[in-house]
Amino acid sequence: MALEDAKTQVDTAFTRQDPRGLAFENAFGGAPSFLRRRYTKDLAGVDLAITGVPFDQAVTHRPGTRFGPRAIREASTLQPFDPPYGWGYSPLDELSIVDYGDLAFDYAKVADFPDTLTGHIRGILAAGPGCVTLGGDHYISFPILKAYAEKYGPISLIQFDAHSDTWPDDDMTRIDHGTMFYKAVKTGLVDPSRSVQIGIRTHNDDFLGVNVIDAPEVHETGPKAVADKVRAIVGDAPCYLTFDIDALDPAFAPGTGTPVWGGLNSAQAAAILRGLAGIDLKGGDVVEVSPPYDTTGATAIMGTHVAMELICLYGWTRRK
């Protein structure tokens, strides 16, 4: 059946009718939507919306993450042929998932960007589905968390990252991808006692009460112990998972703005994410994929796999 479908399916980003189901369009052809889901703004009956935020004007070093959503979508064409390995169910078959497209914003009015993004996510959540966002630099998580906190109250944050991004910054008008979680804690969007950062390997004097599982601990204790610890911290609280691709060692994800050695390998990241099955995940993002710094495309592939794991986590408690 898959072979027959491959002969006839093309541009399913526009032509597919059923939001559920695998896809067999040639990986190297057609218009790339995320996992060959249909591009649409119609969220009626949708379980999960995928959206892109091509923004990189908050970076402190190398730019290029504005091209992340496009690269992740292209890399995702390798994945919709089969259920994801190791989960035991097929989220593409069981969930109604659409590609909601990218955020529209005026790149020359940077000060307007945060409210524009919050409104974009607020609109998706108001329509009913959860949301997985493709970044973009990591600042985007802050406006997104505002929309989530409006709906769910202070949320538990699960953050995979080389950097804590909680460096002090009391100027709320600054748009900086290194200080947004300081602001998220200080403004009450995030509950630090039920939040956790995984893979940290840069210094910070004050983590603001957020629990930290640094990269050495991941290497020493292993993925299962890390996942168990995260689940104990988060408990049954509604949570949001943000995955900065620089949580991975540069050997696995060189295409990012601020790479740091000593990071997680891809197998560790996959095992930890799968070990979180059952958490009350309300949404998430994968950020800081900068294609210009990776000619192999490997970083975008990592980003795509992370996004698929977020879909699997979201669907785990919502399977039909």
In the numeric block, which tokens belong to residue 311? 């879909």
Q: Which residues are annotated as a binding site?
A: 138, 161, 163, 165, 244, 246
- In this prediction the pTM is 0.97
Buried b or exposed e, range 174-192, using 16+ CB within 10 angstroms: ebbbbbbbbbbbbeebbbb
Which helix (H) or strand (E) segment holds residue 298: the answer is: helix 298-316
Question: Is residue 245 within 8 Å of residue 266, measured between CB atoms?
Answer: no
Residues contributing to the annotated binding site for Mn(2+) = 138, 161, 163, 165, 244, 246
Q: 14-35: per-residue pLDDT in tens?
A: 999 999 999 999 999 999 999 9
For residue 5, name the pLDDT band (cuts at 50, 70, 90).
confident
What's the token pair of residue 203?
A: 């210094």
Q: What is the mean pLDDT of residues 303-307?
A: 98
Q: pLDDT digit string (tens) for 175-229?
A: 999 999 999 999 999 999 999 999 999 999 999 999 999 999 999 999 999 999 9
DSSP-assigned letters across all residues of 54-122: ---TT-SS---GGGHHHHHHHHGGGSTTSPPTTSSS-HHHHS-EEEEEEPP--TT-GGGHHHHHHHHHH
- Region of 299 (left: φ > 0; alpha: ψ -120 to 50; beta: rest) is alpha
Ordered structural domains, the chain, with CATH: 2-316 (3.40.800.10)
Query: What b/e sequence results for 85-98 when a residue is b if at least 16 CB atoms lie within 10 Å of its CB, and e otherwise?
Result: eebeebbbebbbbb
Amino acid in position 259: P
Which of 64, 94, 81 minimizes the C-alpha distance to 3?
A: 81
Six-digit token string for 145: 């968390």
Residue 212 DSSP one-character state: E
